Amino acid sequence: MEPEHIDVTAETGLPRQPGTHQDCRGVASVLSRVGDKWSVLVVMLLRDGPRRFNELKRIINGISQRMLTLTLRGLERDGLVTRTVFPTIPPRVDYELTDLGRGLAVPVMALGEWAFAHLPEIEGARNDFDARNAE
């Protein structure tokens, strides 16, 4: 019989429990990337196939060139987007979701659909809250 593998923390040498502070920090860093509004928009736009930088910038109203660059770089670093440079003049650069990124597009779209379906309720709750707290 093979011994059971127990994952231990480096700090204490004690068994790691799911949901510990260390696990939460790791998940939080992923959620901060995939949950910010620009990343969500980029993932949604790339779900149908590759797009060029300027095409993304034109479609995403209000995003600066710097913010789009940072967003794409972060998504690429996390393995969600690939960047392909074509040797043309001027260089052509395409961004595309990886398999991991396509997997993320599913819950992102579900979250968007949920938000759209519940928008009237949310706006009503906001109005009620603002009215109660206006005094």
Reply yes or no on whether the pLDDT at 15 is more than 60. no
pTM of the entire structure?
0.71
Work out the pLDDT band at 7, boundaries 50, 70, 90: low
pLDDT digits (tens, 9 = 90+) for 75-100: 999 999 999 999 999 888 999 999 99
pLDDT digits (tens, 9 = 90+) for 31-61: 777 778 899 999 999 999 999 999 999 999 8
Spatial distance between the Cα atoms of 106 and 101, rounded to a whole number of angstroms:
9
Closest CA to 60 of 77, 49, 46, 74: 46
